[in-house]
């Protein structure tokens, strides 16, 4: 019985969370149509759709409960960040972040091109095409096998 209740609640939360994804509403993010820059904090999706935020100091608990994370802008609008996994976003719960990218899913998701974290009173770029290219070059360098052929 409890399992059925949990499944029903999960389905209801899913539909409540994603009903806004398909709603056609004006985007309140900064930028031109399709390109946006949003500043806010990383929060769990379930908490966000229920009007809550992760309490400071309990980030590890929120990270364990939530499966999906979003950026919540200062005006309360939230956006999914499909570019990143929950594992990548969870360490940044309650951290001030800024993302740039293109809108997807009727304006409720951002395909991130640049991501920055506010750290030590300044913005630090943690994700960009340049960083990805550098990581690819490092990975190629790391993965080159060196074989010595015996004669």
Q: What is the pLDDT of residues 84-119, one digit of tens each?
A: 988 888 889 999 999 999 998 778 999 999 999 999
Q: What is the DSSP letter of 135?
A: H
- Percent of the chain residues past pLDDT 70, beyond the cut: 70
- On whether residue 17 sits in a domain, the answer given is no
Distance of CA 104 to the CA centre of its chain: 13
- On whether residue 10 sits in a domain, the answer given is no
Q: What is the DSSP letter of 91?
A: G
- On whether residue 37 sits in a domain, the answer given is yes
- On whether residue 67 sits in a domain, the answer given is yes
- On whether residue 101 sits in a domain, the answer given is yes
- On whether residue 103 sits in a domain, the answer given is yes
CATH number at residue 79: 2.40.50
Q: Where are the alpha helices (DSSP H) in the chain?
A: 2-19, 45-49, 59-65, 86-89, 129-143
User: Distance between CA atoms of 46 and 83, rounded to whole angstroms?
Assistant: 19
Q: Which of 138, 79, 88 is nearest to 117 (CA)?
A: 88
Instruction: Enter the pTM of the model.
Output: 0.67
- On whether residue 3 sits in a domain, the answer given is no
pLDDT band at 11 (very low <50, low <70, confident <90, very high): very low
Over residues 19-38, the mean pLDDT reads: 53
Residue carrying structure tokens 């990805």:
132
Q: Which of 111, 42, 109, 114 is nearest to 79 (CA)?
A: 109
Q: In terms of residue numbers, what domain contains 94?
A: 33-141
Domain count, the chain: 1
- On whether residue 27 sits in a domain, the answer given is no
């Amino acid at each position: 019985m409890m399992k059925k209740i949990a499944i029903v609640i999960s389905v209801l939360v899913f539909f409540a969370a994603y009903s806004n994804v398909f709603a056609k509403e004006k985007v309140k993010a900064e930028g031109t149509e399709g390109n946006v820059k949003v500043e806010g904090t990383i929060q769990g999706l379930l908490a966000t759709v229920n009007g809550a935020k992760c309490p400071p100091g309990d980030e590890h608990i929120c990270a364990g409960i939530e499966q999906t994370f979003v950026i919540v802008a200062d005006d309360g609008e939230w956006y999914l960040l499909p570019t990143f996994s929950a594992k990548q976003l969870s360490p940044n719960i309650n951290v001030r972040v800024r993302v740039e990218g293109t809108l997807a899913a009727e304006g409720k998701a951002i395909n991130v091109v640049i991501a920055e974290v506010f750290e030590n009173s300044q913005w630090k770029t943690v994700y960009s095409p340049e960083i990805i290219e550098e990581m690819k070059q490092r990975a190629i360098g790391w993965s080159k096998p060196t074989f010595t052929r015996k004669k």
